[in-house]
A = this chain, B = another copy of it.
């Protein structure tokens, strides 16, 4: 792959004097084991999990353990004008964590301490490298929950979640990462440390810079500490599966459930292609004759009653079969199937481009119909799994990366899905972020005034343009 297009054609720290000075200065403030420079190693840190996103060979990977070490890295980067990309577990899907030739990769994975958990204040204070699942388990022991649960929750980090404003399966009831970030400590581009937000339940002191950093993909500063809101641990959820003879009917059921005032803890859709792919990968025995499988769950005190009401709505919308899980084990099996959807679709042709279009849920049926048309037009397999209750779809374009023509068609279909999403009043990204994959599309979604003001904000926080340049816009 080629270098990231937006890098200016100037001297990089790939070789020569600049590289020597950079490594010398970095080593002056970091332990020896915290600066990796072997190109074979640094290149292995150069990209996240997105397809079609260029990357290069970073000059160094730094692995700080303290805030002061992060400050040292940023002071060095500012002094030498070397670009920096902060990284968590690199499970992102938009190329937001990719590094170009000569960059510093700033991996926060060694800053992985949970500093505090308070059941009375319902907060946790964490370093950015804490793995999502590790935090979830730690707060669970206190009867608390940290809801945001991206598919990669077993490996992805809280810092990465904050950088990309991650979502997950439970967002339909509990919201996304942004809603759980109360305050941040951020190292600015020039190495200064800034605190934003609060550790209280409420607070409106000044502009909400906390939220500005959430989803900023490392382009405004380096998050080194976060105060997160927690919730009481909900009861175990119970899942229902409903089969439909068309995706449109399943979407009608979603609309009926949400218009009916129900508050499911999960409302997910897998289309025929996805169901088949999951069966092929994991032999789970999902019903292959179905056109769409809807999973609904409730974690209320009487989930059986909620599932009965929602089951009736599914039947009214034309469900061919409605199967409530009998217990937590059956429920978990259905969720496993959903979580396997994207890996399973990737296995179809070896590579996927995973879209993340979110539309008003009333337009979900239109989007799914449109994706089917697009798949036909480009002669491609596109499987759709969706956080249906949020209108957030993940059409996964399956293709053989070795086939140039198919790859070109994949990219074109991917773009056409985003165009359709915007046409339906939606957004190009519900939870995966813009990275490099969607930057042309961000400009279309924002319009010229919005884009100009976003760029002005970037300029305000990163006047030298060293923080993850070429991402977002």
Contact = CB atoms under 8 A, between A and B. Distances in A.
A200 B442 contact: no
Contact of A450 (B122, B195, B199): B195
A12 interface: no
Given A120-B362, A447-B195, A450-B194, A165 B473 contact: no
A118 B201 contact: no
Contacts of A205: 427-429, 434, 442, 445-446
Interface in A206-242: 206-209, 211-212, 214-216, 220, 232-233
A167 interface: yes
A365 B223 CA distance: 32
A395 interface: no
Contact of A259 (B120, B178, B179, B214): B120
Q: Taking the full assembly, how many copies of this chain does it contain?
A: 2
A16 interface: no
A359 interface: yes
20 contacts: A119-B258, A120-B361, A121-B362, A144-B261, A171-B201, A198-B426, A200-B359, A200-B392, A201-B391, A201-B392, A203-B427, A206-B445, A206-B450, A209-B450, A209-B453, A209-B454, A232-B261, A233-B261, A456-B460, A457-B457
Contacts of A259: 119-120
A336 interface: no
Interface string A305-320: 0000000000000000
User: Lowest 8 A-B CB distances belong to which pairs?
Assistant: A232-B261, A211-B211, A201-B390, A203-B427, A202-B430, A165-B204, A120-B362, A121-B360
Interface in A173-190: 175-176, 178-179, 188
A143 interface: yes
A360 B258 CA distance: 34
A35 interface: no
Interface in A239-296: 255, 258-259, 261-263
B120 A449 contact: no
Contacts of A389: 201
Interface residues of A, number: 88
B188 A449 contact: yes
A431 B204 contact: yes
A362 B118 contact: yes
Interface in A138-170: 143-144, 164-165, 167
A172 B164 CA distance: 27
Contacts of A459: 460
A297 interface: no
A39 interface: no
A188 B214 CA distance: 23
A263 B426 contact: no
